[in-house]
A and B are shown apart, each in its own frame.
Chain A
């Protein structure tokens, strides 16, 4: 009787703070504390490493005559203009300046550069995932293609993209294709691969019993594909799209490096390293990481919505 009463009644101490805690736990999957711990440890290590790595620069710039107190010395290592290792707050200040303070049309705005990279990424992601899906469909339907195509698909990923990128840009430039498309193609070249591999698995995932069932209905290959193979592959598709969208961004940035691009996060990275603007490099890097997180989260959201429409529990 007592156990029943407890399980039916409200749990003691279910206040607003408790509810907030539970909501936080749900969002982070109950990993909030471990994640926070890791982040804090990383930041501490980062600041300590910055003292060591930037000490040489501080001393060289100050000359032999200047004597530092300990706190002054540490503060100096954390506030250099071109430190070997900028500290997090320097990067955040630089990001605030270049994202919020500068007009988005300015060449110094990270929003402007991120937008350029983002458009390349999305176009590359679109081309890459469509190519990946089509390749998978072809491979699943024509057994001969699996043997013929698979080695090439795998070999394609062993080619160093940094070496191929300029070739693609030059060749396409010669036939009059310039701008976003050549970069998007390099991005697509990287991101089709996980989609193909995953979709081949997804399209062949239905239980043989379910395939037999379609046979007993005398279903056409088309019907078997759209009513069985495709829906069965949807969870596989989303898993691979999350990987693919992050790779697309990497591809877009890589494509900006050797092509002499004037705009984009990759160009920003390159310019930063030319002029030793380490803070600028790190700011671009952080922006790229945030962009990747946003893109993956967007695909994740699309997944949640789709899966909910397909029965909710898979």
Chain B
């Protein structure tokens, strides 16, 4: 039996509008959490080299919510994977929290959320959230305490003992976000986390992700190919283009902090969305 999600369950956090405003940091005031210079990555395939990333220069500062947007094959996921040390750059420099990604990974500096919930089917919800804590080697009592707190933050209290298949898609993805945050990393890397969900659930989760971000003050790097999602969530939007994968525009997204779904019709919102769309179109003109 699958538990259907409704509006109340689909809540991430309980942050108030005022709390959201207070949490929004002044962009660029802190040290860079991620800094890349001339970063390139080439995959050697049987059909010749594929230029996944080409000369990427990007700095992301503490507390920012940065979206990487672009069509398939533009290298946005690859860039996220290089930050996470799941891929290694061919040339150029990259630092995460002031150290190479390999070191950042061994320090467990980031939590990673995949496109699919990637929950272990043989573990309960709380068992999944405790997985990284087991690997880190926390004592049993603390694992439980932390996992419960994280599940409360994504409003999954009461579902601890359920198995993943008993949850709806949106709830599974919330559990996977709770898992990524369970060991309290400063940096949250999200690879199209809501890409597989229907638009209504996705809208709700977007709203609640904003609140969660305001409450936890994490730095977020968020991969998406949805323009409204990027504009709604981000403080900055990095527009990328394929063949070779590169950055073609960086758009500051200075909408007020207490964003609502209704804002999507406001002129400010549409202006930013328009600039992002222009950027994506310019990138595509290189095709054919």
Contacts and interface: CB of A to CB of B under 8 A. Distances in A.
A and B associate in one complex: yes
Contacts of A310: 121-122
Interface stretch (A85-93, A145-153, A190-198, A206-214): A206-214
Contact of B165 (A209, A218, A231, A313): A313
Report the interface size class on chain A. 20 to 34
Interface string A199-237: 000000001011011111111000100011001101000
B134 interface: yes
A153 B114 CA distance: 38
B118 interface: yes
Nearest to A210: B118
A311 interface: yes
Contacts of A69: none
A207 B115 CA distance: 13
A127 B33 CA distance: 54
B118 A207 contact: yes
Given A210-B118, A227-B131, A216 B86 contact: yes
A313 B118 contact: no
A230 to B, nearest CB: 10
Interface in B69-92: 84-86
Nearest to A313: B165
B118 A216 contact: no
Which of B86, B106, B111 has the largest count of A CB atoms less than 10 A from its CB?
B86
A213 B117 CA distance: 11
Nearest to A215: B86
Which of B111, B118, B122 has the largest count of A CB atoms less than 10 A from its CB?
B122
A210 B85 CA distance: 15
B98 to A, nearest CB: 18
Which of A207, A209, A212, A217 has the largest count of B CB atoms less than 10 A from its CB?
A217
B220 to A, nearest CB: 15
A212 B77 CA distance: 13
A111 to B, nearest CB: 40
Contacts of B135: 214, 217-219, 223, 227
A252 B120 CA distance: 39
Contacts of B112: 212-213, 216
Interface string B108-144: 1011101010101111100000011011100000000
A216 B105 contact: yes
A314 B121 CA distance: 7
Closest 10 CB pairs of A and B: A310-B122, A311-B163, A216-B112, A217-B135, A219-B135, A217-B132, A209-B118, A231-B122, A311-B122, A218-B106
11 contacts: A207-B116, A209-B118, A212-B86, A213-B118, A216-B111, A217-B108, A218-B105, A218-B135, A219-B135, A223-B135, A313-B165
